[in-house]
Amino acid sequence: MWDIFLVVGIGFFIGYKGLLNEKGIKINSKLQTVWLMLLIFCMGVSIGRNGDIVKNLPLLGGKAVLFAIMTALCSTIVIYILSTLFLEKEGKK
């Protein structure tokens, strides 16, 4: 967990202190999409190569998918209600 704090912190410092010029910021934004897609691909590979996941999928996959959908959905509903009631609207980027 500390490595995450470290890299986010260093990145934040660079952004906050304006150590990147306009061009650098644009490149960073484009590269971010590349890193994101690569990460998602790598995570897909981790799942595909995991024998336990593939093996248990036919029997327990349906229940697991339902848990995933319901937890994500209910969290979203609760946050929607709380943010509408208590939080200022966050603008577009």
For residues 2-61, which are near other proteins according to CB under 8 A? Answer: 3-4, 7-17, 20, 25, 28-29, 31-33, 35-50, 52-54, 56-57, 60-61
| CA quadruple 5, 10, 15, 16: dihedral, nearest 10 | 80
With binding defined as CB under 8 A, does residue 77 bind other proteins?
A: yes
Residue type, 1: M
State the amino acid at position 90 in one-letter form: E
**Torsion angle of C-alpha atoms 15, 34, 75, 51, degrees rounded to 10:** -130
**Is residue 89 close enough to count as binding other proteins by CB under 8 A?**
yes
Smallest separation (angstroms) from other proteins to the CB of 23: 13
Rounded to a whole number of angstroms, the minimum distance from the CB of residue 63 to other proteins is 5
